């Protein structure tokens, strides 16, 4: 695997063209080391007092020259800022326009009289994080079923077979993830077998009268009604106490009570066995498309012959996926990008090698996963600044800052005041139980600052508030970081948080603590 790492003189100039916002000099008033030092010293004195712990800070100019720092070469736990590296790695290997396919493949022939497919068939899933996303924002299994129907297929026989293009179609927890994270909403199983991000939503309304059973009014992904049993009853008033637990067959039971005047409630859980969900959604999709499916073992001998693609859908472009993954800090999505670009074994080492090649050093960067959820990850602040400076000048670095959330959006949604416009900041956050990091670009009239703020300690919330304060102070007169001439195509895979219909005002989840933010 070849990575673009050495920056030619023209590449460095391209980096400056992307990042500089006016003067070609990085010694302007607001990127001058003296101007910066006066503000940083006061800020750090307060921040280190309010959030005692290990701080690592590096502020650089567009060339990567450090203007102000504290422990810039001390490796710290980066949390979800690792996704910034994963984005660059995937782009370098695959290109920003790459798409991930989901297919129905088969070997055999169509009986034109009956519409039955005579032969073998299987679903090929390849880890598209947008597959079956809610509210029609990604490709669906129904799209595949409609293609089969349009080709004349009216009957399928045999149990569901699932495969991928590069090995078993499974979904497992990354070995680098801590046991305490696995199975929580922000840490579902990861792999080619991904449907609706391997989580499920159930929306429940009260029954018509007190004593009536509550009603299941929506599921996501659609088509999993057969996997849900609702035993919850309607009570008087507005208060609700609902529980979502697993059934023995892999489905879910909704129990408890819901007030007759209560608004609809949504419950969310991880799909620990995504194949059960896939089976239900695929069966529903075939029925909607007018295709009958006999799931019993085939009685007719499958015809031999070369496998062919019977139906195919594709994800949005990689750039759109990466932009959404960074905006929502989607751990599953980042791990799928890493597998897509680096393979299922040894990918974290390839990611680490990529970063080393870009920054021109093997010091201070060790990555165990692609999402930053592993506590084994280590990055020094200066390495982030070097990567922010150099990667946009590589062949794969076009528009790289635009793949990171802007101030006021996604995980930067609380950074929504104190700036003249959205896009003055393009950055990635990271949060774990004792980690608060922010890494990215800050646009100023005289030039762009490259900012790496890393904190490991017992007060990550206080550290985050101080990090926001610094961005607001430095960026109060900021300017929007420009994009190159070719825009990144947008895609809406969901909101800043999981989307829900306007008539569902409240989220009731089995686990809503997203420690990777």
CATH of the domain at 464: 3.40.710.10
Within a domain: residue 191? Answer: no
Band of residue 303 on the pLDDT scale cut at 50, 70, 90: low
Same domain, 350 and 470: yes
- Dihedral angle over CA of 477, 483, 484, 486, nearest 10: -150
Q: How far is CA 44 from the centre of its chain?
A: 32
222, 285, 356, 446, 512 from 3: Cα distances, Å: 40, 41, 11, 32, 38
Q: At what angle do helices 331-342 and 347-359 cross, to 10 degrees?
A: 80
Within a domain: residue 243? Answer: yes
Same domain, 21 and 146: no
Percent helix, percent strand, percent coil in the chain, to nearest 5: 30, 25, 45
Same domain, 398 and 452: yes
Query: At residue 96, does pLDDT exceed 90?
Result: yes
- Give the chain's domain count: 3
DSSP letter (8 states) at residue 312: E
Within a domain: residue 228? Answer: yes
Query: At residue 271, does pLDDT exceed 50?
Result: yes
Within a domain: residue 48? Answer: yes
Query: At residue 208, does pLDDT exceed 50?
Result: yes
Same domain, 154 and 44: no
Within a domain: residue 507? Answer: no
Query: At residue 4, does pLDDT exceed 70?
Result: no
The residues facing 473 across adjacent strands are none
Q: Tokens 């991930």 label which residue? A: 100
**Phi/psi of residue 340, each to 5°?**
-60, -45
Exposure string of 442-472, with b = 16+ CB inside 10 Å and e = fewer, is: bbbebbbbbbbbbbbbebbebbbebbbebbb
Element (H, E) at 114: none
Same domain, 86 and 137: no
Read off the pTM: 0.89
Q: For the chain, what is the largest distance between any 2 Cα atoms, rounded to a whole number of angstroms?
A: 82
228-230 and 252-259 beta bridge pairing: parallel
The residues facing 461 across adjacent strands are none
Same domain, 434 and 341: yes
Same domain, 457 and 333: yes
Within a domain: residue 1? Answer: no
At 481-514, the pLDDT tens digits run 988 754 555 544 444 333 433 333 333 333 333 4
At 224-266, the pLDDT tens digits run 999 999 999 999 999 999 999 999 999 999 999 999 999 999 9
Same domain, 344 and 418: yes
- Indicate the burial class of 412 (C-beta count within 10 angstroms; 0-12, 13-18, 19 or more): buried
Q: What integer is the mean pLDDT of 378-397?
A: 97
Distance between CA 403 and CA 413 in Å, rounded?
Answer: 16
Same domain, 348 and 461: yes
Cβ atoms within 10 A of the Cβ of 154, count? 16
Residue 308: the pLDDT is 94
Domain that holds residue 283: 101-175+274-314
Residue 484: the pLDDT is 75
506-509 and 265-270 beta bridge pairing: parallel
Q: What integer is the mean pLDDT of 324-334?
A: 97
The answer to whether residues 254 and 263 touch, using CB atoms and an 8 Å cutoff, is no
Band of residue 297 on the pLDDT scale cut at 50, 70, 90: confident
Distance between CA 206 and CA 261 in Å, rounded?
Answer: 7
Same domain, 380 and 464: yes
**Phi/psi of residue 358, each to 5°?**
-65, -45
Query: At residue 15, does pLDDT exceed 50?
Result: no
Residue 100: the pLDDT is 97
Band of residue 194 on the pLDDT scale cut at 50, 70, 90: very high
Residue 301: the pLDDT is 58
Within a domain: residue 223? Answer: yes
Same domain, 20 and 46: yes
The answer to whether residues 285 and 223 touch, using CB atoms and an 8 Å cutoff, is yes
The residues facing 444 across adjacent strands are 447
Distance between CA 353 and CA 359 in Å, rounded?
Answer: 10
Same domain, 366 and 417: yes
* Long-range contact pairs involving 177-180 (C-beta distance under 8 Å, separation at least 24): 177/369, 177/373, 177/374, 178/373, 178/374, 178/375
């Amino acid at each position: 695997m070849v990575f673009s790492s050495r920056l030619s003189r023209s590449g460095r100039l391209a980096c400056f063209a992307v990042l500089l916002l006016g003067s070609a000099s990085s010694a302007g008033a607001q990127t001058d080391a003296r101007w910066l030092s006066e503000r940083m010293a006061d800020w750090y004195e307060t921040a280190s007092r309010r959030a005692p712990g290990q701080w690592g800070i590096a502020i650089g100019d567009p060339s990567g020259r450090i203007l102000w720092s504290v422990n810039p070469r001390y490796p710290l736990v980066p949390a979800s800022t690792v996704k910034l590296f994963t984005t660059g790695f995937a782009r370098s290997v695959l290109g920003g326009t790459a798409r991930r396919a989901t297919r129905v493949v088969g070997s055999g022939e169509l009986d034109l009289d009956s519409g039955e497919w005579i032969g073998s068939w299987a679903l090929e899933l390849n880890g598209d994080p947008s597959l079956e996303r809610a509210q029609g924002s990604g490709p669906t299994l129904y799209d595949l079923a409609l293609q089969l129907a349009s080709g004349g297929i009216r009957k399928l026989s045999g149990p569901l077979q699932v495969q991928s293009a590069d090995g078993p179609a499974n979904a497992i927890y990354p070995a680098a993830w801590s046991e305490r994270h696995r199975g929580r909403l922000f840490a579902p199983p990861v792999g080619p077998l991904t449907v609706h991000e391997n989580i499920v939503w159930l929306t429940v309304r009260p029954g018509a009268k007190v004593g009536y059973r509550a009603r299941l009014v929506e599921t996501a992904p659609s088509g999993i009604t057969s996997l849900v049993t609702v035993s919850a009853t309607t009570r008087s008033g507005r208060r609700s106490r609902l529980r979502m637990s697993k059934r023995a067959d892999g489905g879910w039971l909704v129990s408890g009570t819901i007030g007759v005047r209560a608004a609809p409630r949504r419950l969310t859980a991880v799909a620990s066995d995504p194949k059960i969900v896939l089976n239900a959604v695929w069966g529903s999709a075939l029925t909607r498309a007018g295709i009958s499916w006999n799931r019993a073992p085939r009685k007719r001998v499958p015809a031999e012959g070369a496998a062919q693609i019977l139906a195919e859908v594709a994800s949005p472009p990689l750039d759109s996926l990466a932009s959404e993954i960074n905006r929502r800090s989607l751990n599953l999505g980042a791990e799928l990008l890493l597998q897509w670009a680096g393979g299922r074994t040894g990918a974290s080492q390839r990611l680490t090698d990529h970063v080393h090649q870009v920054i021109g050093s093997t010091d201070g960067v060790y990555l165990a996963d692609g999402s930053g959820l592993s506590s084994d990850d280590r990055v020094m602040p200066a390495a982030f600044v070097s990567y922010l400076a150099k990667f946009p000048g590589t062949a794969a670095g076009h528009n790289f800052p635009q793949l990171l959330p802007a101030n006021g959006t996604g995980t930067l949604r609380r950074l929504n005041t104190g700036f003249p416009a959205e896009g003055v900041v393009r950055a990635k956050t990271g949060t774990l139980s004792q980690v608060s990091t922010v890494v990215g670009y800050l646009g100023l009239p005289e030039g762009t600052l490259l900012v790496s703020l890393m904190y490991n300690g017992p007060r990550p919330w206080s550290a985050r508030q101080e990090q926001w304060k610094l961005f607001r102070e430095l960026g109060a007169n900021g300017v929007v970081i420009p994009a190159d001439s070719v825009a990144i195509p947008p895609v809406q895979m969901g909101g800043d948080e999981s989307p829900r219909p306007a008539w569902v005002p409240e989220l009731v989840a089995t686990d809503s603590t997203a420690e990777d933010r």
